[in-house]
A and B are shown apart, each in its own frame.
Chain A
Amino acid sequence: MSEWIFWLYIFAFAGLVGYLVISGVPPLLHTPLMSTTNAISGISLVGSLVTAGADYNLTSSLLGVVAVTCATINVVGGFLITDRMLKLFSKPGDRRL
């Protein structure tokens, strides 16, 4: 099996599992869902880190450092704001004043 097909399997199965899992999220939480997946997509940090830190050449490092910055904003900001949002959903009958 060529490597490409292998990656395609991973992509397709992750997409399907993701779709099944995510379709269970109620409309109530659609905004937190979006901000969570936003934070998760900050995983491109993993790619940016290599670009920035492998010391290939100056162009690569510069582009990489901007990419690292952008991805970090999404990871750090995305998780923080999701948590801030989820804290707002108070339990039934348990009203904060």
Chain B
Amino acid sequence: MSTSFTEIAYFVASLLFILGLRDLRSPETGRRGVRLAELAMLIAVSATLLHNHLVRYDWIIAGVLVGSVIGVAMALFIPMTKMPERIALSHSFGGLAAALVGVAEYSRQSATLGSGKMAALGFEVMLGAVTFTGSLIAFGKLQGLVAERPLTHRFQNPLNFILIGATVAAIGYLVLQPAQPALFYGMLGMSFLSGILLVLPIGGADMPVVISLLNSYAGLAAAATGFALSNSVLIVCGALDGASGFFLSIVMSKAMNRSFTNILFGAFGRENGNGREPARSAQKSLLGATIGDALVVLGNARSVIVVPGFGMAAAHAQHAVRELADLLEQRGCVVKYAVHPVAGRMPGHMNVLLAEANIPYDHLYDIDAINFEFAGTDVALVVGANDVVNPAAKHDPQSPIYGMPVLNAEEARTVIVLKRSMNPGFAKIENELFLRPNTMMLFGDARTTLVELAGRLREAGT
């Protein structure tokens, strides 16, 4: 197969990838977009397989078979609540693939590498390795294998800067003197270490930002592979992936009111912590309401806005939410959903879960579309959300999340908050919403509480 044929195939594939992404603008065209991207992948991979550099197919077939089995199994059996974990894992696979290709290229032709190619290889290996270990740590945190709270120490930022500086310096030296395997593998080791150290200090609530950033790094690693191999479709796809991660990082950073440099340079450990410090004042007593109280309020409500948070995913409560919403709607109540961009552990996490529970997507509202509606609403039902409904972000400059755009849940006539316990996990920001006179706290597992509410509401009839 001639090179020009491969080039044309790559060109067509690149265009199809972009058109496919464009279709993700709406849920109605989304699946067509996936088809286009699949077609593009098929074209690019087929063109590569027909390329005359390839002489042995046994290794390839083995890898493709094993990868397909694992990929299909992961896609079919992972529950939607575990999407952040799956995404983190696949970022790590992407990073590892890029790093390994880079290592193989280096080991094969280290002495003869030109400076341009060496630079590309260096960044490919560095970005790939950082993405690999960083994503593994992110996965560990999401899965609860690594402490979810931020693991910080005093020298963390200087140490990270020195480590990354040394890695880049090593690449610079290799560009001048490529034939130094010891330095190359040292650089690889430092990159692995950087990935671990960069993600360890980050708390669970910041995961949406981290996952977006790692998405971007994985893309850049692929693009660097493209530069190293002079491969157009790799460069295009890497740039697309990098742009997507960059875009999502910006969306997430805006939603948390954090500057982009703050995020890029790993200051998101937030040592003074986005409220990772203990509650400031002596805890006023939180009075738990009873299911009965909540039932009276919900039974009389004409309008309800549900505010989902990570707690809904943790309790797998999305179906219970819909069950309750259905009953409310049968009683003539209007139910809407207010989704904060950083609710959950990854961009769009809540939307996917609510969609899984068959809630039509036109009932899901972004913060800007719904925030003015709380004031005229009977009940704000907060299901496992915390920071995103903390009014302190609006008026208390002392609050660690001051300035972050939050949902105005407190403006609803009554706020019902479903919360696991008085003092859960690491998120120790005092939330004054919970202390307000119009707030009812229902402690316990969100799903159990919702199922009970729905059951009693059904008994009560219409």
Query: Using a CB–CB distance below 8 Å, which chain B residues touch chain A?
Result: 14, 17-18, 20-22, 24-28, 30-31, 33-34, 37-38, 41, 44-45, 48-49, 51, 53-57, 59-60, 62-64, 66-68, 70-72, 74-76, 78, 80, 83, 86-87, 90-91, 93-94, 96-98, 100-101, 103-105, 107-108, 116, 211-212, 215, 218-219, 221-223, 225-227, 229-248, 251, 339, 341, 346-349, 351-352, 355-356, 358-362, 364, 366
Given A68-B67, A91-B360, CB of A44 within 8 Å of CB of B87: no
Query: Using a CB–CB distance below 8 Å, which chain A residues touch chain B?
Result: 3-4, 7, 10-12, 14-19, 21-57, 59-61, 63-97
Chain B's nearest CB lies how many Å from the CB of A16? 8
Tell me if A74 and B235 are in contact (CB < 8 A).
Answer: no
Tell me if A11 and B101 are in contact (CB < 8 A).
Answer: no
Tell me if B346 and A69 are in contact (CB < 8 A).
Answer: no
Considering the chains assembled together, what is the distance between the CA atoms of A24 and B30 in angstroms? 12
Main secondary structure on B side of the interface with A:
helix
Tell me if B362 and A64 are in contact (CB < 8 A).
Answer: no
Chain B's nearest CB lies how many Å from the CB of A83? 5
Tell me if A74 and B93 are in contact (CB < 8 A).
Answer: yes
Chain A's nearest CB lies how many Å from the CB of B59? 4
Q: Which residues of A contact B352 (CB under 8 A)?
A: 31-32, 85, 88
Q: Which residues of B contact A66 (CB under 8 A)?
A: 63, 96-97, 100
Tell me if B107 and A59 are in contact (CB < 8 A).
Answer: yes
Residue of A nearest to B227 (CB): A7
Give which listed residue, B93, B230, B238, contacts A71 with CB less than 8 A.
B93
Give which listed residue, A26, A44, A54, A96, contacts B225 with CB less than 8 A.
A44
Pick the most buried of B90, B223, B227, B366: most chain A CB atoms within 10 A of its CB.
Answer: B90
Given A40-B240, A45-B45, CB of A77 within 8 Å of CB of B72: yes
Considering the chains assembled together, what is the distance between the CA atoms of A96 and B28 in angstroms? 16
Tell me if A73 and B27 are in contact (CB < 8 A).
Answer: no
